[in-house]
Amino acid sequence: MKIIYKHFSFGCIIFLISFYSVTFAQQPEKKINKEIIERAEKIIALEFTDAERDSMQDALNEQLSNYLNIHKVKIDNSIPPAIMFNPIPVGFKFDQTQKPIRFGNYSHTKVPKNIDDLAYYSIGELAHLIKTKKITSTQLTKFYIERFKKYSLQLRNAITLTEERAIASAKKADEEIAKGKYKGLLHGIPYGVKDLFSTKRYKTTWGAEPYKEQLIDEDATVIQKLEEAGAVLVAKLSMGALARGDYWFGGMTRNPWDTTKGSSGSSAGSASAVSAGLLPFALGTETRGSVISPATVCGVTGLRPTYGRVSRTGAMALSWSMDKVGVLTRNAEDAAIVFNSIYGPDGKDQSVYDLPFNYSPKIDFKKLRIGFLKGDFDKSYPFHTNDSLTLKKLEELGAVLIPIELPNTAARDIGFILTAESAAAFDELTRTNQDDLLLRQTKNSWPNSFRASRFIPAVEYINANRIRYMLIQEMKKIFEKVDLYISPSWQGINLALTNLTGHPAVVVPNGFLKNGTPTSITFMGNLFDEGRLIAVAKAFQEATDHHKKYPKLD
């Protein structure tokens, strides 16, 4: 050492000290060490050796640096990820032929002696009165606006009345109809939207405190399409904050059948308003039950279309691979009327397929293969009696019910696909602690879910979607055996599973519980087969009267 040391000059020593000082100073501080990795292993159900932990430190710290840089990029909620969900199973064949759309005959419709009865008229009935000039769109619009002013405070189902816009649209519709320019069954018909659809000049609050003053000054695609059809936007309706439940910054949206109870969610105000006769139809969205559940609780008809059927441009994103725009109406054919105007691509939402919608109100049950989830229907659950009567009624109509079972390949376990995507959609809300402003702060509310979802490994998220692919292929096998099937609305895994696979559903009232609140049954269809699905639901409704019963409001 002494010989070597003699060959080093004082200057060389100073250089080496300076070099290593600068080098170490430039290295980022290691925030993730072996101890942190060991503790984190418990979250992801893995165990590494000490040597493996040591080797991972540099990579994890580099990733952490990447995350911090990503956080500096402003990513609006409207920006989708550059990966898209595909609900189409291998070998699936599309119907490419658009056939003429036929709706029922409403020529028997008359203006009621008690004008308040208009509140529960269907779209088809109201359309006939407007077309034949028995009432005007302006009269009808003012009628519904007054009902909102009378009942919405009690029901807490409206966030914003778009009164000025509504009156202007109604007058325009009346002028067009007077000149013989009738656009169709939605011309002059008032409606409302869940307050996650953007609208010109009116706030879009997403039902959440941090966004109470948010103005997205453009109409969502579905609103543009309804405007082109001549429909009249009357209200932005309440929704569970950020599309969960029925609590928003104005409190809990009420169920018109029992105003001490909530209306379920998250399309809470849409279901409540239609149920209470404040509107003939409303738009909602469903990610994992947000149309079917409030439709059930409020006793209305709900259509959840196939994933990729309706553009979500201008709608709040919760889960890019699961969000679906739906419709809440008085009856099944009303859902077909609205869907006929909103489905199809807009050139913006790249997840939307350009495929026909074929609907005819006539159906022959004897020519259909109708399945039913026998294992679920055989269980004891609150809706069991009414569901059994529904199956019996379908058999009376000529249906031969085929028992089937759903695939159960971890369908419930991969539900965190939704929470992973929702945490990404509201990443900034979590990082800035603005989530503390949300009304609901329970373990089952979004703030806690967003935080917990930060710990979902990317590997598990991707593998969950691989299992989802497997489920999609299994569902194809079911629809090789049946044309559609019947499911309990809440019992079993159907609701969770089919929201993952993207299949369409129609939910309709099928009776009441002893406490006077409604029950429902769910009709499930093959991908893009909404027309046949709605026609079957309509046939059931024509043979029953559950959808014609309405809550009594004080």
Active site residues per annotation: 194, 266, 290
Strand-pair category, 484-488 with 518-525: antiparallel
C-alpha–C-alpha distance, residues 125 and 277, integer Å: 14
C-alpha–C-alpha distance, residues 345 and 174, integer Å: 29
Partners of residue 161 on adjacent β-strands: 235
Alpha-carbon Rg for the chain, nearest whole angstrom, is 28
Partners of residue 293 on adjacent β-strands: none
C-alpha–C-alpha distance, residues 412 and 408, integer Å: 8
C-alpha–C-alpha distance, residues 21 and 355, integer Å: 66
C-alpha–C-alpha distance, residues 442 and 517, integer Å: 27
Could you identify the residue written with the tokens 């397929």?
A: 353
Helices (H) and strands (E) in the chain, counts: 19, 15
Got the DSSP string for 512-530?
E-TTS-EEEEEEEE-TT-H
461 Cβ contact partners less than 8 Å away, ≥ 6 residues apart: 416, 417, 420
Got the DSSP string for 121-133?
--HHHHHHHHHTT
Strand-pair category, 190-194 with 281-286: parallel
Partners of residue 401 on adjacent β-strands: 370
C-alpha–C-alpha distance, residues 326 and 324, integer Å: 6
**End-to-end Cα, the chain, rounded Å:** 99
Could you identify the residue written with the tokens 């101890």?
A: 35
Distances (CA, A) of 241 to 207, 252, 500, 502: 4, 10, 22, 24
Tokens of 466: 């691989």
C-alpha–C-alpha distance, residues 78 and 348, integer Å: 11
- Crossing angle of helices 530-542 and 384-396, rounded to 10°: 100
C-alpha–C-alpha distance, residues 293 and 304, integer Å: 11
Asked if residue 355 lies in contact with residue 94, where contact means CB atoms within 8 angstroms, the answer is yes
C-alpha–C-alpha distance, residues 47 and 127, integer Å: 65
Does a cis peptide bond (omega within 30 degrees of 0) precede residue 266?
yes
